[in-house]
Structure 1
Amino acid sequence: MAMPFTGDRIILKDLGFYGYHGLMLEEKALGQRFFIDLECGVDLSGPALTDSIGRTVSYADIYDVVKAAFDTRRMHLIEAVAQNIVDAIFQSFQDVNWIIIRVRKPEAPIAMVRGEAAIELHRQRPTA
């Protein structure tokens, strides 16, 4: 049975990783920095009322899953990097009902003096 929508979320912001994702040969060989912002929709009523770690999803555990998903497979596109992370979170945490993920690439191989390239995915847990 689906939990009622509460708008509650666990937020991890500005997670920094070094990786070899990209289309260009330089990106694959030299690597670059990536930053990830993540919101995971989880009903936080239980932990809010009980103050018990056993009633929530650990943001430290979410980070570990994000890092493993980021590091495990090299991708051409940051859209695929984001989807790989989403899939890993849904697989690891049954209480996560939706995810908003932004993958930012500050050294994208385009002629910009300042800024970054980024994508954002909005995903809901697939229903059976």
Structure 2
Amino acid sequence: MLTIALEGLQFYAYHGLYQEEQIIGNHFVLDIRVSIPEPEDPESLSESVNYEVLHAIARQVMQTPQPLLEKVVHDISVQIKSAFPAVRRSSVTLKKQAPPLGGDVACSVVSLEKEY
């Protein structure tokens, strides 16, 4: 298997259950990992996963506010599989930095791993 990843994608977005999160927004960090069968011709992008497209998918999904981070990682996973049917595994991890929990918390994390 060949693994392709984007780590530490940074976004400012308006995801959150509470109204103030949807108004004020927050900083998010996103990691995406996908695995595909090893290409026969590793010089051909058509046999791989274009990480520019991965970034575009992430950017588009992150622009749509959701109350739950679970929905965000789900939507990213679905769009990746749709764009790249050869993907056999995916992992999407989203971190909300300094979530409003009334105490010092570095981040909350939601991660979705799939095997196809």
How many pairs are equivalent?
A: 116
| TM-superposed deviation, 1:47 | 4.3
For the pair 1:110 / 2:90, whether they are aligned, the reply is no
**Preserved contact between residue 30 and residue 93 of structure 2 (Cα < 8 Å):** yes
**Preserved contact between residue 86 and residue 99 of structure 1 (Cα < 8 Å):** yes
Letter of the aligned partner of 1:70 in structure 2?
A: M
Equivalent residue number for residue 123 of structure 1: 114
| TM-superposed deviation, 1:32 | 0.8
Letter of the aligned partner of 2:17 in structure 1?
A: L
For the pair 1:58 / 2:44, whether they are aligned, the reply is no
| TM-superposed deviation, 1:113 | 2.8
Cα distance between partner residues in 1 of 2:55 and 2:38? 18
Letter of the aligned partner of 2:101 in structure 1?
A: I
Residue 42 of structure 1, aligned match among 17, 26, 36: 36
Cα distance between partner residues in 1 of 2:58 and 2:68? 16
Question: Which blocks of at least 5 consecutive residues in structure 2 are unaligned?
Answer: none
Cα distance between partner residues in 2 of 1:53 and 1:88? 19
TM-score scaled by length of structure 1: 0.82
Larger radius of gyration: 1
Residue 100 of structure 1, aligned match among 83, 91, 94: 91
**Preserved contact between residue 43 and residue 95 of structure 1 (Cα < 8 Å):** yes
- How high is the sequence identity, in percent, across the aligned residues? 23
Residue 16 of structure 1, aligned match among 1, 4, 10: 10
For the pair 1:88 / 2:79, whether they are aligned, the reply is yes
| TM-superposed deviation, 1:58 | 0.8
Q: Tell me which stretches of 4 or more aligned residues in structure 1 moved more than 6 Å.
A: none
**Preserved contact between residue 46 and residue 56 of structure 1 (Cα < 8 Å):** no
Cα distance between partner residues in 2 of 1:47 and 1:75? 40
**Structure 1 counterpart SS, 2:60:** helix
Cα distance between partner residues in 2 of 1:12 and 1:66? 10
Greater per-residue strand proportion: 2
Cα distance between partner residues in 2 of 1:25 and 1:108? 13
Query: Root-mean-square deviation (CA), in Å?
Result: 1.5
